[in-house]
Chain A
Amino acid sequence: MKSKREEFLEILMKYQGILHKVNLVYFKNQTEREDNFQEMVYQMWKSFPQLQKRKSIGSWIYAVAINTSLSGLKKNTRINYQENLPEYPGISDAYREMEINEDTQLLMEAIHNLNEIDRSILLLYLEEKSYDEIAQIIGITNSNVGVRINRAKETLKKHLKPLYHGK
């Protein structure tokens, strides 16, 4: 019979992509991402007994990862939400180290300019979660999810405009 830890590690192995993506959406700095990854793994391990009560493993992992990241987001390191985004902002060095193309780096920059809640919602949307699942993970109504997704997409559209019209 598998030990509890073994079972946990197998789930973690299978779903670790979620942790990496949540980390990426909230932290630009590599050291902060490593610290937060460690914290997320630990918080998951701590709340592992609660998993039995949840219907979906994925939803549980998203919830732990988002709540832990928000908790770890220090006030002074947060990037302020900008009402008016610059037309074609530069890409920070934070993503240059990753092997992702420039367009995706620009997408990450745009996501970082959303507020903390909208970042989570957009991440879940991009991960193709249903409105029901997003509402359950965040704790808001389905209609609110829809409104926020549209608003976030509008903001991204402005930010990514040069990619589709300016080239």
Chain B
Amino acid sequence: MENNELQKLWENIDTAMGHVSKSELNRVLRDKVKKTVRKYLYIIGLSVTISAGVIIFLIITALNRPGDELYLLNNMVLGILTLTALVISVKAWIKLQNKNTGQSLKEWLNAQIKQLTEGLTGKHSKLYVITIPVFFILLLLSIHVYFENMLFSEVLRNEESITGMVIAIPIGLFVSYQVHKAIRAYQKKQLEYLYEIQKKLD
């Protein structure tokens, strides 16, 4: 088969393809921008709302327990953790959305792989192993101590409270880790796909 035969077949595609008007292109762009902005607002809005809820709870409960220093310290650490997690996760999500597709396929693939690999195996990638349990335990303590109407130190000595926490902590940790595991599994799948494409390029 000659090259010009292939070319002829290909030209047929050119003539058969319907082109979109300028106003239609403008509509496509407008709709997509709207959809993307909505997605951003939803993800960021949800993260900010949850974090704001936690912070408001921490402030109100702390104001009601001015004398309990341990409780105040617990809430302060929890507040710092919440804000740090919010900033890091929103920044990471925005970075992941920034695909920079205007470069060569090889450069684009390398950049995508680097970004995903950093998140999955970089130096801060295992931080969640510590932060999830610390965050969960501190939050559980903050809620429990406040609603039990006891001092922070008393709760730590109370047999019922300890039993309750021994049951609640593993359940909470299991759920948190499962959610985290699912997110990582999705990212791993994406990374595998990119590696597969990269292999075909070499």
Contacts and interface: CB of A to CB of B under 8 A. Distances in A.
Contact of B197 (A37, A41, A70, A153): A70
A10 B13 CA distance: 23
Most buried by B among A71, A118, A128, A161: A71
A148 B142 CA distance: 63
Interface stretch (B1-9, B42-50, B54-62, B155-163): B1-9
A107 B16 CA distance: 14
A95 B3 CA distance: 23
Contacts of A51: 102
A66 B105 contact: yes
Given A9-B22, A67-B101, A117-B201, A104 B9 contact: yes
Interface string B93-128: 000000111111111100010000000000000000
Contact of A100 (B5, B16, B200): B16
B9 A13 contact: no
Interface string B152-187: 000000000000000000000000000000000000
A67 B108 contact: yes
A136 B103 CA distance: 9
A21 interface: yes
A98 B25 contact: no
A91 interface: no
B interface residue count range (under 10 / 10 to 19 / 20 to 34 / 35 or more): 35 or more
A116 B25 contact: no
B102 A75 contact: no
Given A16-B25, A50-B102, A116 B197 contact: yes
A149 to B, nearest CB: 10
Interface in A148-167: 153, 156-157, 160-161, 163-164
Contacts of A153: 1, 3, 6
Given A45-B29, A103-B9, A17 B104 contact: no
A126 B12 contact: no
A9 B6 contact: no
Interface in A88-115: 98-101, 103-104, 107-108, 115
Contacts of A163: 1
A51 to B, nearest CB: 7
B93 to A, nearest CB: 16
A136 B1 CA distance: 28
Given A21-B17, A120-B105, A139-B104, A115 B200 contact: yes
* Interchain residue pairs A-B with the least CB separation, the first 8: A139-B106, A139-B104, A47-B102, A67-B101, A50-B102, A42-B32, A104-B12, A126-B10
28 contacts: A9-B25, A9-B29, A13-B25, A21-B17, A37-B28, A41-B25, A41-B28, A47-B100, A47-B101, A47-B102, A51-B102, A54-B102, A63-B101, A66-B105, A67-B101, A70-B197, A100-B13, A100-B16, A103-B12, A116-B197, A128-B7, A138-B104, A139-B104, A139-B106, A140-B106, A140-B201, A153-B1, A156-B1
Interface of B: 1, 3, 5-7, 9-10, 12-14, 16-17, 19-20, 22, 25-26, 28-29, 31-33, 36, 99-108, 112, 189, 193, 197, 200-201
